[in-house]
Structures are given as structure tokens and as C-alpha cells.
Structure 1
């Protein structure tokens, strides 16, 4: 797929799924921007992906829950590279594995900040620059848990279920501007951290990050311009 001259932002791009998405977008010819959390994260990502020095990967340390910082960074990227075309919101995290009555509000707030606020702020910052380019593509990462009942997952599931409504609103609002918005719904992803946390699980049922990245690549590419507002399961047999 030819993504040359496309500018793509991948939040959470230094994690297992995010790095697979970064890799496939780079292979497609895009310039990939990764706002990262910790110093040296971008260098570690370059090493993990074995990228050559000339690879079109850039980034900066940005607090994705800080509205002003996010707005300023996306504006700077758009100025430096001529705009924004693609946004993939991978940033997030899991917590709150307790019943509702045992989960203090701090857990809920943390999940909302990690999983919803980061996506909302990045969308708000990216969309005006996509409009200026005459189109674009947004892919948000939800979860299978957001679409089905589950005990001891309420804070996480609620924050991710809100991503579904965010995506639907974006799709409706941005259709006249030729900007698509879709959600992918993973379940358990085959990552080293998940294997460590669940050593007795059936890893064969889990989906590798690279397989999910290929779905993201399709959704941001030219053949998916007629798909918007969709919530796409990517959990295979997991």
C-alpha cells in the first residue's frame, strides 16, 4: 500500500501493538510521528524495529492528557510536515480489575484519562489539520470487553465503550470532510507482557500485533474510504 507523503500520528506507538502499527505504516511509505511518554522511548523503538537512520520516524515527549501540550505538538507537526493525514489512537491501559463497589473513583478517573481523554484530545488536535488537507483517517483502539458483559472490568470497559461513541460521533461529523473514523476491537493480544501475566494460557488463540496492524493499514488506506463509524472485531479465536 502506498502511503507516501502521508503524515501519520500513532499514540502509544512504543508499545507492542503500537510499534507493530508504526512498523507497517513506515513500510507503506508514511512519515510516522510518535508522541512518547518516557525519555529514550523513541530510541528504544528504533532499536526494536531495527530501523535504518534515515527511517521517517519522528517524535517528542508529550503528555497526552495535557490539552494544551497535545494541541501545540500536533500544530507543530502539521507546520513542519505540511499537515496530518492519519491518526491511530493506541495509547491506553488497563486497571480496575475489581467489582464496582470495591473500585474507588480514582481507578475510574485513571481509566478515563488513559483510554478516553488521550483519544479525545488527539482527535481534537488532529482533525483541523486533516480538514485542511481535504481528508484523512482516524482509527481508535477499543476492546472486545466494551461490547459484552464482564465482571470486575467496569472502569476499563466503560472507558473503552466511550471510545465507540466517540468514533460514531466523529464519523458523523467528519463525513462531509472526507475523514473516516473507525474502531478496532482486540481481545487478548499475543505480547510478551500478556504471556508473562498468563503463563498457562493457550497462546495459539491470541492474535499477534502484526496481524492487527494489517487491519489498521487497510483502514487508513485508499480502499477503506467508504468505511466509517465501524467497530471491527480483531480478536480471532481469543
Structure 2
């Protein structure tokens, strides 16, 4: 799939899924504005990627902070004159506590990390894309959003809400040529997940590169007729 001449913002670019997605977008020909939180050495980080010369910008942004998020869209518009795609990869998991024992702060932490970031990122993308009447927004939910299970109240609620948020974006974006879709990965095969579950059967885990390929498709013109879709990935 080609993203030639497209400008794509990727949030959570330094997380478990982020590097594979950055590389896939670069290989597809996109200019990538990579959002990150915390200290990153830009030159060292860029050296990890093929095709990064002149095609990859690293921008600091806290996706939980309403005032910080627009910097990503602003950088894309100011430096490259356009914004074609936006991938919301920021998220995280905490669970294992039943509702009766769950602290409000723990519940809200999952909403902040998974839902607030998707909302603020999507809103910034929508506002930047609206004048050009073109764009693609892709959020990341989880297979765990499809059914509540014991000990996962905050995570499941947040990820389920991301699906409804994406469907709303698709409906509101249709008159402006803005598409919105959401992917629902199963367990992602990252070093962090391997370390947390050393004895797990990884037969159904999904590789970051496989998720990245789907994200590139949803950004591309090959998916121009696809919007409002929730796409499961992995088992």
C-alpha cells in the first residue's frame, strides 16, 4: 500500500507498537510526525528507521494534556502544509481488580490513558483535516472491548468507548471526506508483554508488524471506501 506524499501523525510512537508502525509508514512513502512523551534522543531514535532522512519528525506531546496535543497537527501543517492521516496509538493496560475493590483513581486512569488520548488526538486531527475536506483517522481499541470480563472494568470500558467514539467520528466526518476506523488487536507480541507473561502461549499473539500493515492500509487510498469500521486483528 502506498502513502506516497502523505503526511501522517503517529502518537505513542515510542511505545510497544509505535516503532513498527513508524517504520511501516516510512516504507510506504509517508512523511511521519511522530509524537512522543518523555526524553528521547532524536538523532539516535531516527537512526533506527530506514528511509527516515527528511521523512521523520519527532515532536514532544502529552496526549493526556489538552493544550499539548495540537502541537502535532500544527507541526504537520506548518512544516509540510498538510495532514492526511492520524494514528492514535497511545494506550495502556492495568487490571485484575474487581469493581467492588477498584479505586476511582485506578478506573479513571484507564479512561485517561485510553479514551481521553483518543478523543484529544482525534479532535486535533479532525480540526486540521476539515478545511481540506480529506483525511483518515485510525484509533486502537482491543478485542477486550467486545466483552466485559472480571477484573477489567476500566480497561474494557475505555476501549469500548473508543469504538463508539470512532463511529461518531466517521459519521461526522463523512460530509468532509474524513474517514475514521478502529482496529481491535488481541494480545500484542511486544517485549513488555513477553516479560510480563513469560509462561504464556503466544500462538495467538499478534506481531506489531502485522498491525502496522493494517494501519497503513486504512490510511491509504485503497481504503477510501472504508469508514466506521471496527477491525479485529489476531486471536
Aligned residues: 235
1:25-57: CA deviations, max 9, x gaps? Answer: 01011111111111116455434x344661511
3-state SS of 2:17 partner: helix
Residue equivalent to 1:203: 202
* Deviation of 1:83 (Å): 1.7
- The answer as to 2:74 corresponding to 1:114 is no
> How far apart, CA to CA, are the structure 2 residues paired with 1:158 and 1:95?
12
Are 1:137 and 1:181, in contact at CA under 8 Å, matched by a contact in 2?
yes
Residue equivalent to 1:16: 16
Which structure 1 residue ranges, 5 or more long, are not aligned?
none
- The answer as to 2:83 corresponding to 1:84 is yes
Residue equivalent to 1:30: 30
> How far apart, CA to CA, are the structure 2 residues paired with 1:57 and 1:114?
25
1:174-233: CA deviations, max 9, x gaps? Answer: 011111111100111111111111111122321111011111111111111111111100
> How far apart, CA to CA, are the structure 2 residues paired with 1:158 and 1:44?
37
- The answer as to 2:222 corresponding to 1:223 is yes
Residue equivalent to 1:2: 2
> How far apart, CA to CA, are the structure 2 residues paired with 1:167 and 1:43?
34
> How far apart, CA to CA, are the structure 1 residues paired with 2:54 and 2:189?
26
> How far apart, CA to CA, are the structure 1 residues paired with 2:134 and 2:82?
11
The 10-residue stretch of structure 1 (140-149 or 201-210) with the greater mean CA deviation from structure 2: 201-210
Label 1:43 to 1:100 Cα distance change in 2 as closer, same or farther (>3 A). Answer: farther
CA RMSD of aligned residues (A): 1.6
What is the TM-score with the length of structure 1 in the denominator?
A: 0.93
* Deviation of 1:112 (Å): 1.0
Label 1:43 to 1:143 Cα distance change in 2 as closer, same or farther (>3 A). Answer: farther
Label 1:147 to 1:53 Cα distance change in 2 as closer, same or farther (>3 A). Answer: closer
3-state SS of 1:24 partner: helix
* Deviation of 1:6 (Å): 0.9
Are 1:6 and 1:86, in contact at CA under 8 Å, matched by a contact in 2?
yes
The 10-residue stretch of structure 1 (212-221 or 197-206) with the greater mean CA deviation from structure 2: 197-206
Label 1:168 to 1:15 Cα distance change in 2 as closer, same or farther (>3 A). Answer: same
> How far apart, CA to CA, are the structure 1 residues paired with 2:72 and 2:219?
22
Are 2:9 and 2:72, in contact at CA under 8 Å, matched by a contact in 1?
no
Are 2:64 and 2:116, in contact at CA under 8 Å, matched by a contact in 1?
yes
Residue equivalent to 2:101: 102
What is the TM-score with the length of structure 2 in the denominator?
A: 0.94
Residue equivalent to 1:57: 56
Quick check: which one's helix share is greater?
A: 1
Are 1:32 and 1:57, in contact at CA under 8 Å, matched by a contact in 2?
yes
